[in-house]
């Protein structure tokens, strides 16, 4: 046993960094109160991930949810898997019902979301041991550890920024302006954002589109936020075309009202404050007349004594007290 401890003393990023720097090979087992995750490292590079809670292949669930494979097809492939040696995914690929790239993308989503989760663990324990875990249930991958750390930290950094702008996921996005090269450049639209944009048909909800896109929740939602910010799309409750059109008109009207209200409210606030407050204006803005008066008294006295030729050194002067 090479490494053992709790996450309170040593953070997940530190453990990953250490394994990566030491170019270690072995399995890192992270245990939280909820579940246990095993990560396979080969010379410091992440080669696979497994979760104790996975009763079935998690990729299947992602593909089924996205509608990329049907329930029947999947069950049939599972039946064949039980009889023979081939795996369900190989069967579906050989049957031409599934593309290898989509399978990899599904795996990618699962792995990314697992890492995003474990990087935010505040309690739990870790154990790094030599040798491979049960590779049967392991999702294989090839991820450079430091890239993973940076990418996951970026998501943690940006998530609160995105979170505040996320629209309700059961709303339907509607295209307002098509993406042009200029717009894409101006708003830094990435290939992932464009992919999400392409899936918008006015009927699908945000949740459905993200599932179909095979992007992680973070990437999908941040793409939506970016598209809304760029005024390329707008979101509405799931309604008919007529209702959406009416809704767009209504929203445009309210938008104008909202815009105008920003200025009107500001003007009211300024007028109100001018009325109730007493702004410090005029010649005495920086100088109080009382102070002026006291300084003037000192000056006058100095002038008077100057004209009287009074000076402290002249003890024999005729200005005696008597």
Partner 1 sequence: MATISILANMVPTIPLKDILSSWPYLSTLLGNIYFFVILTATLSFFIIGVSLIIKYAPHILNDLKNLIGTEIPEIGIKLWVAFIFLIPIFFDMGPLWFVLWWFIVLWGYVNRSEKKITFVFIFFIFISSWIAHIGGSFLTMTQTHVNKEIFMIENHMGSIKDVLSVASWIQKHPDDAEPINTQAIVEKRKGNYISAIQLLSRALDLEPNNSRFYNHLGIAFSGALKDREAIGAFKEAIAIAPDNMIYHYNLSRVYQGMYNLYDAEKEIKLASNIDPSRLKEFLDKEGKDINHRFIEEGTPVIRLLYRQLKLSNDLDMASDALWDIGFGSIDRSMAIWLSLIYAMILLILDYMPKERFTKRCSRCGSLYYVGSLSKKGHPMCLQCHWLSTKSKKQPDYIMLNKIEKVKQHRTYYSSDTATLEMILPGMGSIVANNTLKGIYRVCVISAGLIMIITGGQFIFSFIPTGIDLRSIIRFGGILMIGCVYLSAYKIPPIKQGV
Selected binder of partner 1 within 149, 189, 196, 223 (CB under 8 A): 149
- Cα end-to-end span (Å), the chain: 105
Phi, then psi, of 5 in degrees rounded to 5: 170, -170
Phi/psi for 81 (5° steps) reads -60, -40
For the bound state, the minimum distance from the C-beta of residue 150 to partner 1, rounded and expressed in Å, comes to 5
Closer residue to partner 1 (CB): 89 or 193: 193
Of 89-97, 134-142, 239-247, 306-314, the window that binds partner 1 (rule: CB under 8 A) is 306-314
Dihedral angle sign, alpha carbons of residues 138, 96, 193, 164: negative
CA 76 to chain centre: 39
Positions of E strands within the chain? 3-6, 26-31, 36-42, 45-51, 125-129, 139-144, 171-175, 233-237
Of 28, 23, 24, 32, residue with least CA distance to 48: 28
Q: Which of the residues 152 through 191 are near partner 1 (CB under 8 A)?
A: 153-154, 156-161, 164-165
Q: Binding of partner 1 at residue 8 (CB under 8 A)? A: no
Span interacting with partner 1, options 27-35, 190-198, 226-234, 236-244, rule CB under 8 A: 226-234
Residue with tokens 């010649």: 283
User: Per rule CB under 8 A, is residue 51 in the interface with partner 1?
Assistant: no
- Using CB under 8 A as the binding rule, whether residue 297 contacts partner 1 is answered as yes
**Does the protein bind partner 1 through residue 312 (CB under 8 A)?**
yes
Which residue's entry shows tokens 């399978």? 103
Q: Is 266 in the site for partner 1 (CB under 8 A)?
A: yes
Given the rule CB under 8 A, which residues bind partner 1?
Answer: 13, 17, 20-21, 144, 146-147, 149-151, 153-154, 156-161, 164-165, 228-229, 231, 255, 258-259, 262-263, 266, 269-270, 273-274, 277-280, 286-288, 290-291, 294-295, 297-299, 301-303, 305-307, 309-317, 319-322
């Amino acid at each position: 046993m090479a490494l053992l401890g709790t996450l309170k003393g040593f953070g997940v990023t530190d453990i990953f960094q250490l394994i990566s720097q030491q170019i270690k090979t072995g399995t890192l087992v992270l245990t939280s109160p909820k579940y246990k995750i095993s990560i396979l490292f080969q010379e410091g590079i992440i080669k696979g991930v497994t979760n104790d809670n996975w009763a079935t292949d998690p990729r299947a669930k992602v593909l089924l949810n996205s509608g990329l494979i049907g329930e029947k097809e999947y069950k049939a492939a599972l039946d064949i898997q039980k009889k023979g040696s081939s795996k369900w995914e190989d069967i579906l690929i050989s049957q031409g019902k599934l593309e290898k790239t989509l399978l990899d993308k599904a795996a990618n989503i699962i792995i990314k979301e697992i890492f995003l989760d474990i990087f935010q663990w505040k309690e739990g324990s870790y154990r790094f041991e030599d040798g491979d875990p049960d590779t049967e249930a392991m999702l294989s991958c090839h991820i450079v550890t430091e890239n993973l750390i940076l990418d996951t930290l970026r998501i943690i950094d940006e998530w609160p920024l995105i979170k505040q702008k996320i629209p309700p996921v059961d709303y339907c996005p509607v295209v307002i302006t098509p993406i042009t090269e200029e717009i894409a450049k101006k708003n830094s639209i990435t290939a992932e954002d464009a992919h999400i944009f392409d899936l918008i048909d006015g009927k699908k909800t945000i949740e459905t589109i993200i599932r179909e896109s095979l992007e992680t929740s973070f990437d999908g939602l941040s793409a939506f936020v970016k598209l809304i910010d760029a005024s390329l799309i707008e979101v509405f409750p799931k309604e008919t075309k007529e209702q959406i059109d009416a809704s767009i008109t209504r929203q445009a009207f309210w938008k104008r009202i909202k815009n105008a209200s920003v200025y009107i409210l500001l003007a009211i606030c300024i007028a109100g404050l001018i009325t109730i407050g007493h702004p410090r204006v005029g010649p005495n803005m920086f100088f109080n007349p009382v102070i002026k008066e006291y300084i003037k008294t000192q000056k006058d006295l100095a002038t008077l004594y100057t004209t009287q030729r009074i000076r402290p050194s002249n003890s024999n002067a005729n200005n005696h007290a008597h």
